[in-house]
Copies of this chain bind each other. A is one copy, B any other.
Amino acid sequence: MSEIKQTVGVVGLGSMGFGVAQSALRAGHTVHGFDINPVQVERFQTLGGSQGAMDDVAGDLDTVVIIVLNAAQTESVLFGPKGIAAKLRKGAAILSSATVAPDFARDMEKRCRDLGLFYLDAPVSGGTARAAKGELSVMSSGSPETYEALAPTLDAIASNVFRLGDSAGAGSAMKAVNQLLVGVQIAACAEAMTFGISQGIEPELMIDVISKSAGTSWALENRGPKMAVADYSPASLINIWPKDLGIVQDISRGSQFSTPLASTALQLYLTAQGMGLGLEDDSAITKVYAAQSSITLPEPKP
């Protein structure tokens, strides 16, 4: 754990961002939490977060961690009408965690550099639970100076910091590779489970068998049990996948690289969106298979 204590701004206090902000607090940093929802900001302040509107404190920040959904929100946070980039002091460092296209990350790095700011292309993996423990995995790339400026903050929020390169883009490319696999494997888990149901195999037994066999995956161990008991409580939404597999598709088209499995999975998630399932948990991708066959999905337990 770093001895240096920083003044950290966390932008985006959703379930991931809130955990990240708490981890930074726990490590002894001075932490300001910002969110469009004032309830989340107040909740974080009651737990030890520092007071102050973003406009007033931006000049005090050593680092800014941006935990938002996508490229549009990231750009808005940095360079929108109320953007923070113009208000930061020179030498401040930004960690951008959304899953975005590598070209977007390169553009953000350049625009930050033009203002004298450091930018780390740093998509995260690990989910809410690991965010709260300060144990995220970060797939990152940026200049050595950027890593140095962010080191105490990174220490507090992540347990694995993968360094993919010396400039923005590589971190986002690595995240796209990971998301290709997760997106395909969640859909494959649904395909396998519904296929097994069509053959009369009991869903919970099926997940138990596969999790101890060569068919297992993080996706299966994480989403399979939810599919087997029809627990669609939203943790990660269907809507994530047309975005993330869309980034994979944009990159692969730009590189004349064919990704037949990712493309097939993308069609399945688009079908799910078309069925009105966008705001359900992504384990509900089983409903696409059910709608296209005569199987009956498990009922939620009472």
Contact = CB atoms under 8 A, between A and B. Distances in A.
Contacts of A214: 125-127, 178, 181-182, 218-219, 222
A200 B162 contact: no
A258 interface: yes
Interface stretch (A9-17, A25-33, A80-88, A264-272): A264-272
A181 B189 contact: yes
A115 interface: no
A239 interface: no
A174 interface: yes
B198 A188 contact: no
Interface size class of A (residues with CB under 8 A): 35 or more
A217 B256 contact: no
Interface in A77-100: none
Contacts of A184: 184-185, 188, 191, 261
B137 A187 contact: no
Given A199-B255, A215-B218, A216-B218, A260 B191 contact: yes
**Copies of this chain held together in the complex:** 2
A217 B264 contact: no
A215 B177 contact: yes
A296 interface: no
A191 B201 contact: no
Which of A194, A199, A293, A295 counts the most chain B CB atoms within 10 A?
Answer: A199
A185 B217 contact: yes
A277 interface: no
Interface string A249-281: 001100111111110110110000000000000
B209 A139 contact: yes
A98 to B, nearest CB: 16
A195 B177 contact: yes
Interface string A191-216: 11111101111000110111011111
Which of A126, A205, A210, A222 counts the most chain B CB atoms within 10 A?
Answer: A210
Interface string A168-180: 0010011011111
A292 B179 CA distance: 22
Interface in A211-256: 212-220, 222, 248, 251-252, 255-256
A75 B220 CA distance: 34
A2 interface: no
Nearest to A222: B214
A206 B188 contact: no
Given A182-B215, A220-B181, A256-B293, A173 B200 contact: yes
A164 interface: yes
Interface of A: 102, 125-127, 137, 139, 160, 162, 164-165, 170, 173-174, 176-182, 184-185, 187-189, 191-196, 198-201, 205-206, 208-210, 212-220, 222, 248, 251-252, 255-262, 264-265, 267-268, 289, 292-295
